[in-house]
A and B are shown apart, each in its own frame.
Chain A
């Protein structure tokens, strides 16, 4: 390693130091150096020893947790594509097709996001921070497979710029970056992220039964049509056993949807990694699940249409519920920060997620909007949690002075 250390620190570094030709690009060099070598900084004030963990390790663990979703998403895009055009191909052909669709989105997301970050680092002369490592992976995973690459780039730039940098960078944002990107496309180009975009390929080639709609889209058709309406069976039958959207398929993820969100199994593997390492909050995940279950249960009990009547667990296995609850709601910067607050926040994210999904089928991805909404509400939740602590203290003081 001495060889690399000499190369990077002695040969490359001088080109970027103050006064050298590439001085302005120092943040880019710094990113490389700190990627390869933990800096030789030692403690100056306070504790003389520090925990081994840093933000890079933390972010790496989240990326690791996202890998199952990414890999499954790649395969699933290919699998659904060949099913839709009724071609039988082997596993690797599906993976190749999926990779060809998904990897460019990943690349564009990272290139656009890191590009903005670098520019800001150069302007503001601070070190590049790790925040976008995770956002850059989350953005592709919540996009439909056929999304235009320029839209991904635009949405990413918007999210990093308006969602994060204007607030002061990593750790300062109010809204989840990935969901901001998704919401940007959703409101700027609604046609390209709803309707029949959830299957990759030319729609004309699709055989019967493959419309390109998502489960949410199919169910949205039943809203306002009442219960047990015979005309609705064309949609509801898709959710019966052995059909495209039955519980098994929805849980395993063999259904159309955003690239990374379809498989509850892959999400749960990620959840296991996040929970085990303690990087994802179990409070948020658990209460998110119960929040969703509560709303789905209420809808199921008082159903006025087929969407509401869906079995609660089936409801939760669909759409971005698992993905949102495990990877989006748990973003520590935008979630509630107090332990009690996290429970309330998670519950409401899940609760409102299902509510928006069913009541406002114009936005069939309710989870995204619910989490963004709760991101905004999180400081308020924390405020009341902290106030209760303050009140306890004041009460103690009153008892004492009384």
Chain B
């Protein structure tokens, strides 16, 4: 791609060479439908890495949209608020009384809590974000956790496209939100001593909805997934060293922040892509954070055993249709479950591999013959878990100057010093998603990396 210039600052194009685009069936049509009215909403504390919730409301209480539901035990300034107005229906607890969901039944009043959206001082901005429950939209690297309000980050990054399988067209989703986005970026700019980076796709036209933002650093990325991962983008622009703190945020979240400061109210509406091979009519829906998935998928998914995911196939959560749209998610994916035995000659390990059910990066299957084929993959592991045997696979889909297998092993034997040296501060679990997909030994790498980051964070705290 040629270098582009937009705005007064110099812009850069980065070409991601290592990676993999997995082409799946069920891409969303570019139409936005109103979703059915969700009869219940939920905020899931489990969406927030490392947060232990302390409840501020009880079942039966009335809340307004934007009113705090709980706060973080480690930092009570960080509050999490209700996306809608209504009544607290239930606080769902799991093992050891861990809070899993705070469910809210919406009412018709649609009343909003009002916040003093003072944009004059950084402290005022932070206070408004914290009080309104919008602060958790701002996350930080390293660790991929909610940002610490006491920090001043080196820079703030916004990834303005989504290269994940079936990922929504962010430029399309953001159409009509230019003003709120601009406002949100203005707010972010006040909180960093460095630049606010808009990391956009180098595809022509993909930056249209983001052109309103001023005084930002525009960066363009081309190449396969994980080009849209914030970790990859930061790594190419300004790799994180020990001690660096970089914040990041996604465009629809920037819009929510922008709206908070123009109206004083919390508007958590989202445009969500409903995708996947089991969706009859994949398209975009307008809904709100925490909506029940059922409200979107209703009558629009095929009968049968489905995996319903809030998020994309690489990093999303298996929620089922009774589950709720995750706090950070703007996509729902429905795949067939793969819980059948596969006979080795027809569908298994000795099969010709021509079906839409079998995709491989390796040329041991004929996927390479059909680069544009779209696959109907299921959730089968396609093998059994083994020790690491094959080497050199992960390097093909991991665009960091990091040795992935060595880093993973250092996490497995929990050597903090080694992890630091091998570059753990530069990555999050999602950056290893493709490594996990292509791993011949079927090791749950994202879980290992997540645990490693949590151990490291506990050690450093």
Which chain A residues have a beta carbon within 8 Å of chain B's beta carbons?
1, 4-5, 9, 34-58, 60-61, 127, 129-131, 168-172, 276-279, 281, 332-333, 335, 337-339, 342, 382, 385-386, 389-390, 392-394, 396-397, 400-401
Closest to A168 in B: B387
Closest to B343 in A: A1
Q: Of B243, B309, B433, B442, which is within 8 A of A54 by CB? A: B442
CB proximity of B49 to chain A, nearest CB, Å: 14
A54 close to B349 (CB less than 8 A): yes
- A45 with B364: in contact, given A171-B389, A332-B392, A386-B406 (CB under 8 Å)? no
B343 close to A36 (CB less than 8 A): yes
Q: Of A4, A55, A389, A393, which is within 8 A of B383 by CB? A: A55
A55 close to B389 (CB less than 8 A): yes
Q: In the complex, what residues of B have CB within 8 A of residue A52's CB?
A: 353, 358-360, 365, 367, 382
- A53 with B444: in contact, given A36-B344, A42-B338, A42-B380 (CB under 8 Å)? no
- A41 with B384: in contact, given A49-B335, A332-B392 (CB under 8 Å)? yes
Q: Of B316, B333, B343, B365, which is within 8 A of A4 by CB? A: B343
Closest to A4 in B: B343
Please report the C-alpha to C-alpha distance between residue A396 and residue B386 in the assembled complex, in whole angstroms.
Answer: 36
- A46 with B382: in contact, given A9-B341, A51-B362, A335-B391 (CB under 8 Å)? no
List CB contacts (< 8 Å) of B415-440 with chain A. 421-423, 429, 433-434, 436-440
Complex A-B, nearest 5 residue pairs according to Cβ-Cβ distance, in ascending order: A54-B383, A171-B387, A46-B446, A37-B341, A38-B342
* Contact pattern, B 140-157, Cβ under 8 Å of A = 1, otherwise 0: 000000000000000000
Whether B39 sits at the interface, judged by CB under 8 Å, is no
Q: In the complex, what residues of B have CB within 8 A of residue A61's CB?
A: 364
Q: In the complex, what residues of B have CB within 8 A of residue A41's CB?
A: 380-381, 384
Most chain B Cβ neighbours within 10 Å, of A276, A333, A393? A393
A5 close to B338 (CB less than 8 A): no
A49 close to B349 (CB less than 8 A): no
Please report the C-alpha to C-alpha distance between residue A229 and residue B277 in the assembled complex, in whole angstroms.
Answer: 77
A43 close to B379 (CB less than 8 A): yes
Give the contact stretch, choosing among B267-275, B324-332, B397-405. Answer: B397-405
Whether B242 sits at the interface, judged by CB under 8 Å, is yes
Most chain A Cβ neighbours within 10 Å, of B239, B387, B438, B439? B387
Please report the C-alpha to C-alpha distance between residue A170 and residue B318 in the assembled complex, in whole angstroms.
Answer: 32
Please report the C-alpha to C-alpha distance between residue A335 and residue B392 in the assembled complex, in whole angstroms.
Answer: 11
Whether B461 sits at the interface, judged by CB under 8 Å, is no
Please report the C-alpha to C-alpha distance between residue A53 and residue B383 in the assembled complex, in whole angstroms.
Answer: 7
Between A and B, how many residue pairs show CB distances below 8 Å? 219
CB proximity of B339 to chain A, nearest CB, Å: 5
List CB contacts (< 8 Å) of B84-133 with chain A. none
A47 close to B433 (CB less than 8 A): yes
CB proximity of A392 to chain B, nearest CB, Å: 7
Most chain A Cβ neighbours within 10 Å, of B242, B347, B403, B421? B403
List CB contacts (< 8 Å) of B349-396 with chain A. 349-350, 353, 358-365, 367, 377-384, 386-392, 395
- A43 with B241: in contact, given A48-B335, A332-B389 (CB under 8 Å)? no
Q: In the complex, what residues of B have CB within 8 A of residue A46's CB?
A: 314-315, 429, 433, 436, 444-447
Most chain B Cβ neighbours within 10 Å, of A44, A51, A382, A396? A51
B359 close to A39 (CB less than 8 A): no
A34 close to B391 (CB less than 8 A): no
- A51 with B379: in contact, given A37-B342, A37-B348, A58-B390 (CB under 8 Å)? no
CB proximity of A42 to chain B, nearest CB, Å: 4
A389 close to B344 (CB less than 8 A): no
A392 close to B401 (CB less than 8 A): yes
CB proximity of A206 to chain B, nearest CB, Å: 43
A51 close to B422 (CB less than 8 A): no
A49 close to B360 (CB less than 8 A): no
- A47 with B389: in contact, given A5-B343, A277-B362, A337-B405 (CB under 8 Å)? no
Write 16 A-B pairs (CB below 8 A) sorted by A numbering: A4-B343, A37-B348, A40-B341, A45-B444, A47-B313, A53-B365, A54-B382, A54-B383, A54-B384, A172-B387, A277-B362, A277-B363, A279-B362, A279-B390, A390-B421, A392-B401
CB proximity of A374 to chain B, nearest CB, Å: 15
Closest to A392 in B: B401
Please report the C-alpha to C-alpha distance between residue A45 and residue B22 in the assembled complex, in whole angstroms.
Answer: 19
CB proximity of B252 to chain A, nearest CB, Å: 22
A38 close to B379 (CB less than 8 A): no
Closest to A42 in B: B379
A56 close to B377 (CB less than 8 A): no
Please report the C-alpha to C-alpha distance between residue A390 and residue B318 in the assembled complex, in whole angstroms.
Answer: 37
Which chain B residues have a beta carbon within 8 Å of chain A's beta carbons?
22, 24, 165, 239, 241-244, 307, 309, 313-316, 318, 333, 335, 337-344, 346-350, 353, 358-365, 367, 377-384, 386-392, 395, 401-403, 405-406, 421-423, 429, 433-434, 436-442, 444-447
B386 close to A170 (CB less than 8 A): yes
Q: Of B386, B406, B436, B445, which is within 8 A of A129 by CB? A: B386
Q: In the complex, what residues of B have CB within 8 A of residue A333's CB?
A: 389
A58 close to B402 (CB less than 8 A): no
- A39 with B392: in contact, given A56-B349, A396-B241 (CB under 8 Å)? no
Q: In the complex, what residues of A have CB within 8 A of residue B439's CB?
A: 50-51
- A51 with B446: in contact, given A40-B338, A171-B441 (CB under 8 Å)? no
Q: In the complex, what residues of B have CB within 8 A of residue A389's CB?
A: 401-403, 422-423
CB proximity of B425 to chain A, nearest CB, Å: 9
Q: In the complex, what residues of A have CB within 8 A of residue B441's CB?
A: 55, 171
Q: Of A45, A281, A335, A397, which is within 8 A of B241 by CB? A: A397
Q: In the complex, what residues of B have CB within 8 A of residue A35's CB?
A: 344
Q: In the complex, what residues of A have CB within 8 A of residue B444's CB?
A: 44-46
A38 close to B349 (CB less than 8 A): yes
Most chain A Cβ neighbours within 10 Å, of B244, B313, B335, B349? B349
B307 close to A48 (CB less than 8 A): yes
A47 close to B446 (CB less than 8 A): yes
CB proximity of B170 to chain A, nearest CB, Å: 21
Please report the C-alpha to C-alpha distance between residue A172 and residue B388 in the assembled complex, in whole angstroms.
Answer: 8
Q: In the complex, what residues of B have CB within 8 A of residue A172's CB?
A: 387
CB proximity of A29 to chain B, nearest CB, Å: 14
CB proximity of A139 to chain B, nearest CB, Å: 18
CB proximity of A278 to chain B, nearest CB, Å: 5
- A45 with B446: in contact, given A1-B346, A39-B341, A342-B392 (CB under 8 Å)? yes
Please report the C-alpha to C-alpha distance between residue A196 and residue B315 in the assembled complex, in whole angstroms.
Answer: 62
Q: In the complex, what residues of B have CB within 8 A of residue A335's CB?
A: 391
- A39 with B384: in contact, given A46-B429, A53-B360, A58-B440 (CB under 8 Å)? yes
A38 close to B446 (CB less than 8 A): no
- A43 with B403: in contact, given A4-B343, A49-B22, A51-B360 (CB under 8 Å)? no
A53 close to B22 (CB less than 8 A): no
B386 close to A386 (CB less than 8 A): no
Q: In the complex, what residues of B have CB within 8 A of residue A9's CB?
A: 341
Q: In the complex, what residues of B have CB within 8 A of residue A53's CB?
A: 360-362, 364-365, 382-383, 438, 440
Please report the C-alpha to C-alpha distance between residue A333 and residue B401 in the assembled complex, in whole angstroms.
Answer: 23
Please report the C-alpha to C-alpha distance between residue A49 and residue B381 in the assembled complex, in whole angstroms.
Answer: 7
CB proximity of A19 to chain B, nearest CB, Å: 22
B384 close to A127 (CB less than 8 A): yes
Q: In the complex, what residues of B have CB within 8 A of residue A338's CB?
A: 403, 406
- A60 with B436: in contact, given A171-B387, A386-B422 (CB under 8 Å)? no
